[in-house]
Amino acid sequence: MNIKLLEVELNEVASDVTIIFLKKDELEGCEHSDILQKTGFKAEQDTTCFLYEKGLLFCGVDSKKSDDIRSAVASAIKAIRTSNFKSVKVAILSKSVIGALVEGIVLGGYEFNNYKSEQKKVVLEDIFLVSNDLDFTKIEEDFAQAMIVANATNFTRDIVNKTPQDVNPQVLAQIAQDLAEQNTLECTVLQEADLAQEGMNAMLAVGRASVHGSTLIHLAYKPQNPKKVVTLVGKGLTYDSGGLSLKQPTSMVTMKMDKAGACATLGIIKAVSELKLDIEVHAFIGAVENMVGGNAYKPDDVLISRSKTTIEVRNTDAEGRLVLADVLDYAQDKVKADYIFDFATLTGACMIALGQYTSGIMGHSHKLKHDINKAASDAGEMVSSLPFNRHLKKLLKSDIADISNTASKPYGGAITAGMFLDKFIREENKNKWMHFDIAGTAYTEAAWDCNVYGGTGAGVRLMTQFLKDI
């Protein structure tokens, strides 16, 4: 699928199909209103009407703004990919929607077929984005940037979608090393012996029953004169069985996605390095598999974490926070950053609180929450703040250790998980840190917006946007 930008009149472009966005109030006045009426097309957002003989594909939109265009063009691309047309053109309605068009096409047209024995044959070859009356230099720049970000998002999706059999902590380290080589990044991988030397006993405990050694991956993008330094931390549970606090069979399915936070940090650093932003970015990934076995860590264990904070394990399925506790502590020692962001599929509770379409953001700085909100909305992702409070914090008290890995009451689970992480953020970094719970948004079993079945790449677009803005 080639996407090409053309500076000509739309009618000068030869293509099999033309995509036309239509609002409900434009339906009546439209040239083809009679036939559209007969098909029953009502121009509802994300519905399409394909007039095959005329080579016209109508897409309903609520507005011509980015969010609606992104999701409408994603539906259009799916409709065309199932046909036998070779080329399609679409007019760029305004300079603000070029990014949305690219994302809708690249992300909505994504399919993961690695495990299908027969590859689908897609006839569609060329997609032309056409305009003759906009500042083309700006359009070209926005187009190139959107392509980088959308491809990085699909890169993230590809890793998330791979099975736990194919991506274990060692393989994730290899993927990071390959990316480092391709994009000239620095890459260091710590193996279990190194982790033991670092005193990362919380992370090591989680991975102990796995046959695959845990790894801590550190990738760095270092431009010449960076304006800011940013640390990203990713939860990389290549599988989360729950450990001895074993998950229910139905909850265990999809747990290959528990590495999505790590995959997001890989996608972000890929995008930032290809956009050549003047920002130094470090990605720290805790890659671990949470399994059962005679040597598994147990509820009742007390772990001495890297920061020397002792942790009572009351549930081995609350493992992500144990891994992140050690990785956050390590990252704060290694890099003096202006911002620290962690990405994690941390709690089912976040999904219950916000739904499947919104990531939870937690931290102390109102300004940072505000700026992240703005970046997310510009990038077409949804976030919402879940507020810390002192009452919920008390629920993490342990009678035997410094802190418990689960709260004593079941409500507010996303926030108590965030407050557990907060225990490992140093005083000087409190306002620089933000935690992203992407448990709901990172993976989907039903298409929505420009997301298709599987990994969504949540976090990549929003964080890249934030980094572009600073």
Q: Using CA atoms, how far apart are residues 155 and 64, in angstroms rounded to an integer?
A: 28
Q: How many binding residues for ligand BES (CB under 6 A)?
A: 15
Q: Using CA atoms, how far apart are residues 89 and 14, in angstroms rounded to an integer?
A: 8
Least Cα distance to 290 among 394, 225, 209 occurs for 209
In the complex, what is the shortest distance from the CB of residue 244 to ligand BES, in angstroms, rounded to a whole number?
A: 12
By CB under 6 A, tell whether 401 contacts ligand BES: no
Dihedral over alpha carbons 357, 377, 363, 338 (to 10 degrees) = 130
Q: Using CA atoms, how far apart are residues 240 and 251, in angstroms rounded to an integer?
A: 10
Quick note: the x/- pattern for Zn ion over 256-275, rule CB under 5 A, is --x-----------------
Strands 228-240 and 310-312: unpaired
- Partnered with residue 320 across adjacent β-strands are none
Secondary structure (DSSP) of 261-308: HHHHHHHHHHHHHHHT-SEEEEEEEEEEEE--STT---TT-EEE-TTS
Residue 201: contacted member of Zn ion, ligand BES, none (CB under 5 to 8 Å, by partner type): none
By CB under 6 A, tell whether 444 contacts ligand BES: no
Active site residues: 247, 321
In the complex, what is the shortest distance from the CB of residue 346 to Zn ion, in angstroms, rounded to a whole number?
A: 7
Choose the stretch contacting ligand BES; rule: CB under 6 A; options: 12-20, 49-57, 204-212, 339-347. 339-347
Q: Find the binding residues for ligand BES in span 106-165 (CB under 6 A).
A: none
In the complex, what is the shortest distance from the CB of residue 319 to ligand BES, in angstroms, rounded to a whole number?
A: 5
In the complex, what is the shortest distance from the CB of residue 205 to ligand BES, in angstroms, rounded to a whole number?
A: 14
Q: Between 320 and 418, whose beta carbon lies closer to ligand BES?
A: 320
CA 179 to chain centroid: 17
Choose the stretch contacting ligand BES; rule: CB under 6 A; options: 66-74, 78-86, 200-208, 311-319. 311-319
By CB under 6 A, tell whether 315 contacts ligand BES: yes
* Closest CB to ligand BES: residue number: 348
In sign, the C-alpha dihedral spanning 435, 226, 139, 5 is negative
Helix (H) or strand (E) holding 233: strand 228-240
Phi, psi of 100 (to 5 degrees): -65, -40
By CB under 6 A, tell whether 243 contacts ligand BES: no
In the complex, what is the shortest distance from the CB of residue 112 to ligand BES, in angstroms, rounded to a whole number?
A: 18
Three-state DSSP at 32 gives coil
By CB under 5 A, tell whether 412 contacts Zn ion: no
Q: Between 360 and 380, whose beta carbon lies closer to Zn ion?
A: 360
Q: Using CA atoms, how far apart are residues 238 and 162, in angstroms rounded to an integer?
A: 10
Q: Between 170 and 254, whose beta carbon lies closer to Zn ion?
A: 254
In the complex, what is the shortest distance from the CB of residue 264 to ligand BES, in angstroms, rounded to a whole number?
A: 14
Residue 406: contacted member of Zn ion, ligand BES, none (CB under 5 to 8 Å, by partner type): ligand BES
Q: Between 347 and 465, whose beta carbon lies closer to ligand BES?
A: 347
Using CB under 5 A, pick the residue from 317, 329, 437, 449 that binds Zn ion. 317
Choose the stretch contacting Zn ion; rule: CB under 5 A; options: 9-17, 122-130, 206-214, 315-323. 315-323
Q: Using CA atoms, how far apart are residues 357 and 350, in angstroms rounded to an integer?
A: 11
Q: How many binding residues for Zn ion (CB under 5 A)?
A: 6
In the complex, what is the shortest distance from the CB of residue 387 to ligand BES, in angstroms, rounded to a whole number?
A: 19
Choose the stretch contacting ligand BES; rule: CB under 6 A; options: 274-282, 302-310, 316-324, 379-387. 316-324
Residue bearing tokens 């519905």: 47
Using CB under 6 A, pick the residue from 317, 329, 342, 449 that binds ligand BES. 317
Contacts 24+ apart (CB under 8 A), 182-185: 183/221, 183/269, 183/270, 183/273, 183/274, 184/273, 185/219, 185/220, 185/221, 185/269, 185/273
Going from the C-alpha of 330 to that of each of 31, 264, 283, the distances in angstroms are 63, 19, 12
What percent of the chain is helix, strand and coil (3-state, nearest 5)? Answer: 40, 20, 40
In the complex, what is the shortest distance from the CB of residue 203 to Zn ion, in angstroms, rounded to a whole number?
A: 13
Give the residues lining the site for Zn ion (CB under 5 A): 237, 240, 258, 317, 319-320
Give the residues lining the site for ligand BES (CB under 6 A): 240, 258, 315, 317-320, 345-349, 406, 413, 439
